[in-house]
Amino acid sequence: MDDPKLILINDFLAYIIKERNYSIKTRLAYAHDLERFQVFFDSYTGLLTNDFLKVDRTTIRHFLGSEFENGFSSRTVARRLASLKSFFKYLLKAEELQANPTLGIKTPRTPKSLPNVFSEKLINQLMTLPPANTLSGLCDRAILELFYSTGIRLSELATLNIGDVYFENLLIKVTGKGNRQRIIPFGLTAKKSLEHYLRERGNTSLHIDRRQPVFMNSRKKRLSIRTIQRHVKQYLHLLMEGENLGPHTLRHSFATHLMNKGADIRSVKDLLGHSSLSSTQVYTHLQPERMKKIHNQAHPHGSTHRK
């Protein structure tokens, strides 16, 4: 006989894919977290119950405590709790529960890690690294320029088709998390790099299939996410050492440089495709010198106003 708990978990996992359009990667993370909770719950109750109705706040707190005892970081335990909150919220909505046992349980504090960011000078150097006398080099340069010019995600760039790029208006249409689409402007430098690459590839305004991928390999197939990531990392490592360098570094640099130039945080949020402002607020921590300068210039008791 199937475990009723497992049936509810599988129903939830199907729900987040079909109804919420979550990615397979997110589903796997939820599945792993809920599996760990199920194993804990069976041990916690001594297999006396197979009913999630018996779960209460104390059960949840003991589970989180056991995860800390097992050596997991506060970041991992916070994710476990987030998975449980989503799961029990679903059960409440599906009328499988009368109350949500995760309500009132605070998320463990996690250390804030600031993203790697390239300076504008390093960005300019980076763009000169791909060779301009090979098609693969022109492709890599167009990729780097588009990443930095738009701040889009790796998956968003990899799935771009030519029909998603509006060269005359300097706009691209991307499909982000949850299949949400957004329109993003890009600059003239990125436009020139893209046009140069496509022209050398044989795409002209008279012979162009708008369904064709923007970035392709020598076999005329779409460049894979892993290939794009590997190429970008190779160039970034020529300028800076670090394990966490990749396409996201250009995304972080894009956002930080916009904020440093005075861009509104809500506008940056929309450009990045963040669902909440809290995800964008990390970039406000990356510009203390600029903030001090603004304070000194604008505040009545700032240093520039003192005699």
pLDDT value at position 305?
A: 47
Q: pLDDT above 70 covers what percent of the chain? A: 86
Homologous superfamily of domain range 120-292: Intergrase catalytic core (1.10.443.10)
pLDDT of 54 over the 60 cut: yes
Q: What are the residue numbers of the active site?
A: 153, 177, 248, 251, 274, 283
For 95-148, the pLDDT digits (tens) are 888 889 999 899 888 766 656 888 899 999 999 999 999 999 999 999 999 999
Two structure tokens written together for 29: 């993370």
For 6-24, the pLDDT digits (tens) are 888 999 999 999 888 888 8
**Cβ partners under 8 Å of residue 206, min gap 6:** none
Integer angstrom CA distances of residue 117 from 71, 120, 190, 234, 251: 31, 9, 19, 16, 9
For 151-190, the pLDDT digits (tens) are 999 999 999 999 999 999 999 999 887 788 999 999 999 9
Q: How far apart are CA 254 and CA 250, in angstroms?
A: 6
For 203-238, the pLDDT digits (tens) are 765 456 788 999 999 898 999 999 999 999 999 988
pLDDT value at position 173?
A: 94
Length of the chain: 307
Tell me where in the chain the CATH 1.10.443.10 domain(s) lie.
Answer: 120-292
Say yes or no: domain 4-93 is CATH 1.20.1070.
Answer: no
Write down the H helix ranges in the chain: 4-18, 24-45, 57-69, 74-93, 120-126, 135-150, 154-158, 188-201, 225-239, 247-260, 265-272, 277-280, 288-298
Tell me where in the chain the CATH 1.10.150 domain(s) lie.
Answer: 4-93
Q: How far apart are CA 215 and CA 111, in angstroms?
A: 37
